[in-house]
């Protein structure tokens, strides 16, 4: 696959996918709700499809042993680890790709076991494959760290209303990707769940209490995905003339990556809500010597495209709060270091601070072949190099289906040339 961009301005209309993060959470709530409700505009991402099919299998199979292949779907893996514990009399085998088996799950399993769950690691302690013996979990008080994945906390909260004793969660360490936990709790409230929380002086959630109660079903419409919108903001950061319309996207505060609309102001990019769409325009040209430090502790999906955009045009910017990027679909820090080196850009990562050095990038154009790492966000971020004169080639581009199946089709609508 090759990507080129031959225009002088970034203009057009983009149809974003529905939010994968919201879709996955709403599917879990639908599975736990006695009252069936309809979900409109469900994400078409591979993660969401895997979760949906897995839930159908778990809820409709009469088999005592159920094999669930989650492929590379990290969120479904964590959510279904907790959900499987509710299935009385069933044995559920959860597994996936080699990369999924490298992603940690021990803190969540430990918390579930504290509440009576019977879960075994099939091969290596702390990692998939898992064998979950359903039933036995009753709830209660658990302690769990927040510094590995907010999805562990979300998984516990989602199943809590179905447990005999509910759940009281005491959170140790700072919660990374905290907006995703906030999203989970807000969606649960919208479905009738009463939640008690305590925060520290920094407004961080440290304690959650959810008693046994019933979800109240109601039709739900999934909004457009801000995590996907970030890539078009990154493109705008690299373009002198910008006039983009992002369709079906709302500034409602539910998705943490909406923060990009604020950060983009630092780079002369302004955002306006017009009906159900977002308009992006450039208000001023920015000095390429602009420097600042940005933290992505709570915004892992925002990090990769933003880092690439800055590596291209704003190399004095620095980044922190990145340690969790090593645990994603690929080791994203290492992947970016390896691939940006091909175009004369060095990323130095020391003491949790990422900095940029331009070596011979300015004088190098033409074709560049990037490795995909089968990581959707790596591919979409590296495609930004087409905006600055490179013919970008990938060994594999279909991994974008994980979050944005129509990404390349949308690029064509705003002036990119895609050669399969």
Catalytic option among 72, 248, 301, 375:
301
Contacts of 27 (CB under 8 A, 6+ apart): 39, 42, 48, 51, 52, 55
pLDDT at 363: 63
Structural domains of the chain, count: 2
Residues 294 and 392 reside in one and the same domain: yes
Residues 261 and 272 reside in one and the same domain: yes
Radius of gyration of the chain (CA): 22
**The residue to which tokens 């011979």 are assigned:** 360
- CA atoms of 224 and 252, how far apart (whole Å): 11
Residues 13 and 142 reside in one and the same domain: no
- Out of 178, 195, 221, a domain closes at 221
- Out of 176, 200, 221, a domain closes at 221
Residues 198 and 233 reside in one and the same domain: no
| Strand extents, DSSP E, 259-364 | 269-274, 277-282, 293-295, 318-320, 345-350, 353-358
pLDDT at 297: 92
Successive 10-residue mean pLDDT values, the chain, 420 residues: 91 97 98 95 96 97 96 96 97 96 95 97 96 96 93 98 98 93 97 97 94 96 97 97 96 95 96 96 90 94 96 96 88 96 95 90 82 95 95 92 95 93
For CA atoms 130, 79, 55, 402, the dihedral sign is negative
Residues 95 and 55 reside in one and the same domain: yes
The verdict on whether 301 is a catalytic residue reads yes
Residues 141 and 201 reside in one and the same domain: yes
| Strand extents, DSSP E, 311-365 | 318-320, 345-350, 353-358
| Strand extents, DSSP E, 192-335 | 196-199, 205-210, 220-221, 242-247, 269-274, 277-282, 293-295, 318-320
- CA atoms of 365 and 239, how far apart (whole Å): 17
Residues 348 and 328 reside in one and the same domain: yes
- CA atoms of 191 and 12, how far apart (whole Å): 37
Contacts of 134 (CB under 8 A, 6+ apart): 84, 85, 86, 87, 88, 89, 90, 91, 92
Which two three-digit tokens encode residue 131? 């064998």
- Out of 171, 186, 221, a domain closes at 221
Residues 342 and 385 reside in one and the same domain: yes
Ramachandran quadrant class, 166 (left: phi over 0; alpha: psi -120 to 50; beta: rest): left
Q: 49: closest CA among 83, 84, 26, 73?
A: 73
Residues 155 and 271 reside in one and the same domain: no
Residues 9 and 135 reside in one and the same domain: no
What is the domain range of residue 44? Answer: 20-221
Residues 178 and 253 reside in one and the same domain: no
Answer yes or no: are the C-beta atoms of 237 and 309 closer than 8 Å: yes
Give the angle 334-340-345 at the CA atoms, nearest 5°. Answer: 120
- CA atoms of 300 and 329, how far apart (whole Å): 12
Q: Structure pTM?
A: 0.94
CATH number of the structural domain spanning residue 212:
3.65.10.10
Answer yes or no: are the C-beta atoms of 309 and 384 closer than 8 Å: yes
DSSP assignment string, 40-72 = ES----HHHHHHHHHHHHHHH---SEEEEE-TT
| Burial (Cβ within 10 Å: 0-12, 13-18, ≥19) of residue 253 | exposed
The CA distances from residue 11 to 71, 145, 176, 285, 415, in Å, are: 36, 44, 35, 16, 8
Residues 136 and 11 reside in one and the same domain: no
């Amino acid at each position: 696959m090759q990507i080129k961009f031959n225009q002088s301005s970034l203009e057009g209309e983009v149809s974003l996918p529905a939010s994968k993060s919201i879709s996955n959470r709403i599917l879990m709530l639908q599975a736990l709700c006695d009252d069936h409700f309809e979900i409109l505009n469900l994400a078409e991402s591979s993660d969401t499809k895997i979760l949906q099919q897995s839930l159908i299998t778990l809820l409709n199979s009469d088999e005592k042993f159920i094999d669930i292949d989650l492929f590379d779907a990290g969120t479904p893996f964590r959510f279904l680890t907790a959900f499987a514990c509710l299935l009385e009399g069933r044995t559920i085998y959860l597994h996936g790709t080699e990369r999924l088996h490298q992603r940690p799950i021990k803190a969540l399993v430990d918390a579930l076991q504290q509440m009576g769950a019977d879960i075994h690691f099939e091969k290596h302690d702390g990692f998939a494959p898992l064998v979950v013996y359903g039933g036995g979990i009753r709830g209660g008080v658990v302690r769990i760290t927040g510094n590995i994945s907010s999805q562990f906390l979300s998984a516990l909260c989602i199943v809590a209303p179905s447990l005999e004793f509910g759940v009281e969660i005491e959170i140790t360490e700072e919660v990374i990707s905290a907006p995703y936990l906030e999203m989970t709790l807000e969606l649960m409230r919208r479905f009738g769940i009463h939640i008690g929380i305590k925060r520290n002086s920094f407004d961080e959630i440290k304690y959650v209490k959810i008693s046994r109660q019933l979800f109240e079903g109601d039709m739900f419409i999934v909004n457009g995905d801000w995590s996907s919108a970030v890539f078009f903001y990154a493109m705008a950061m690299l373009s002198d003339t910008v006039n983009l319309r992002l369709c079906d996207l709302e500034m409602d505060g539910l998705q943490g990556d909406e923060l990009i609309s604020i950060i983009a102001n630092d780079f002369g990019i302004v955002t306006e809500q017009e009906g159900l769409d977002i308009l992006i325009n450039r208000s001023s040209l920015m000095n390429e010597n602009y420097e600042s430090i940005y933290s992505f502790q709570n915004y892992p999906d925002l990090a990769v495209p933003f880092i690439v955009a800055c590596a291209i045009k704003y190399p004095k910017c620095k980044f922190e709060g990145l340690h969790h990027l090593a645990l994603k679909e690929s080791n994203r820090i290492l992947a970016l270091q390896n691939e940006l080196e091909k175009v004369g850009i060095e990323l130095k990562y020391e003491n949790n601070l990422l900095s940029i050095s331009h070596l011979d990038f300015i004088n190098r154009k033409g074709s560049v072949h990037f490795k995909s790492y089968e990581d959707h966000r790596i591919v979409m971020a590296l495609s930004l190099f087409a905006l600055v004169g490179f013919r970008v080639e990938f060994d594999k581009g279909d991994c974008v289906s994980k979050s944005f199946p129509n990404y390349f089709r949308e690029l064509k609508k705003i002036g990119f040339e895609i050669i399969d």
